[in-house]
Amino acid sequence: MIYKTISTLLQKADPELAHSLAIKFLKNSYLPFNLLSNVPSSKLEINILGKNFTNPVGLAAGFDKNAEIYNSIFKLGFSFSEVGTVTPLPQYGNPKPRVFRLMEDEAIINRLGFPSLGMDKVRSTIKNNPPKGILGINIGPNKESISKIEDYLKCFEYFCNLCDYICINISSPNTPNLRDLHEKSKIEELLIAIKLKQKQLNNKTKILLKISPDITSKNITELSNIVLDQKIDGVVLTNTTISRDQKLQNSNQAELGGLSGKPLQQSSNLIIQKFYKSLGTKIPIIGAGGVFDGKSAFDKIKSGASLVQLYTSMVYQGPYVVNKINKELEALLEAEGFESLKDAIGKDCIE
């Protein structure tokens, strides 16, 4: 009850203030983790990226930007957590206000612009607090970077031995020209450079690419071919959208930035389906965008995702959301006659 009241109060506070209070809460373990967590059924387990995930639900990048709370996130029932986006040098990001709730739409618009304590600080935080679960590190360039590729390489080298996967974020709409990296020749150059660096470092950490929902079918074909050619280990679909085609109610819809939450659900599912048609089972997809309950998670899985991530539903529903999703997923698997989660992947995609 008390946690519901706190959650309701946080929803009324300034979004960034509420977020830093939530981080403090989780960092200091002020939550009754024993009441919150629940051991999911073995039907939800999935072996992917060389790891055994106890359930398919992870925390999306952006929530734990500076790697402060991942061990609490595992305790809440998430099977994996992606920290970041981390940039090489510390940076403040865009001027405030830069995060906006759209309550009626169960959405958020953010134009944070990668506020980060920088890779030095984040690396020492992780070294001092070994992860007790599957950890991904999402990396990106500084706003004032001279060479974006160099920035990714620096972060890759810094973090590749500290986590289970590195996620290369080319899809934030809030760093000028970042999304240009979706162009065929540019992404090819970046991925070749990263793979070469990995080879030089004799490193085997999995590499994922996080993609924008605002892309064309041509982009999807090109990107699929490139990730297959370069032997990238997975794709995260999707980041936030700059589209405002959805019927939004809240007046904050006019704010610039990336839209997340329920209005992103269908468009990210469509992108997942299109990539799944090209990638099949060769490269796993992690689906993100409007995962709020078992059904929305299951829709992503049936569209072709092997795992899902969430951010916005944690803001609106609090830390209980992950267990709720897992319980509902278990019931949906049963109701639709699937023996395991794996059997359901891509089922909506098969023609």
Ligand X SMILES: Cc1cc2nc3c(=O)[nH]c(=O)nc-3n(C[C@H](O)[C@H](O)[C@H](O)COP(=O)(O)O)c2cc1C
Positions that interact with ligand X (CB under 6 A)? 60-62, 65, 84-85, 99, 108, 110, 112, 114, 138, 169, 172, 210, 239-240, 260-261, 264, 288-291, 310-313
The set of residues, in sequence order, having a beta carbon less than 8 Å from that of 262 and lying 6+ positions away, is 105, 106, 107, 290, 292, 312
Q: Which is nearer to ligand X, 44 or 59 (CB)?
A: 59
Tokens of 40: 């999911």
Q: Which is nearer to ligand X, 297 or 345 (CB)?
A: 297
Rounded-to-integer distance, Cα 58 and Cα 74, Å: 9
Letter for the amino acid at 141? P
Closest CA to 211 of 199, 222, 200: 222
Q: Which is nearer to ligand X, 99 or 194 (CB)?
A: 99
Q: At its nearest, how many Å lie between ligand X and the CB of residue 214?
A: 13
* Bridge partners (DSSP) listed for residue 318: none
Buried/exposed 148-157: b ≥16 CB within 10 Å, e otherwise: bbebbbbbbb
Q: Which is nearer to ligand X, 41 or 138 (CB)?
A: 138
Rounded-to-integer distance, Cα 119 and Cα 152, Å: 11
Q: At its nearest, how many Å lie between ligand X and the CB of residue 105?
A: 11
Residue labelled with tokens 């993100």: 288
Residue of 79, 116, 172, 303 with catalytic role: 172
Q: At its nearest, how many Å lie between ligand X and the CB of residue 85?
A: 4
Residue 172 a catalytic site member:
yes
At residue 51, what are phi and psi to the nearest 5 degrees?
-130, 155
In total, the chain counts a number of residues equal to 351
Tokens of 245: 């085609």
Q: Which is nearer to ligand X, 49 or 170 (CB)?
A: 170
Q: At its nearest, how many Å lie between ligand X and the CB of residue 351?
A: 27
Rounded-to-integer distance, Cα 227 and Cα 278, Å: 11
Tokens of 293: 């309950």
Q: Which is nearer to ligand X, 44 or 83 (CB)?
A: 83
Q: At its nearest, how many Å lie between ligand X and the CB of residue 202?
A: 27
The set of residues, in sequence order, having a beta carbon less than 8 Å from that of 350 and lying 6+ positions away, is none
With beta carbons less than 8 A apart as the criterion, state whether 189 and 149 touch: yes
Q: At its nearest, how many Å lie between ligand X and the CB of residue 300?
A: 10
Residue with CB nearest ligand X? 62
Rounded-to-integer distance, Cα 212 and Cα 247, Å: 20
Rounded-to-integer distance, Cα 154 and Cα 140, Å: 10
Query: Which residues are catalytic, by number?
Result: 172
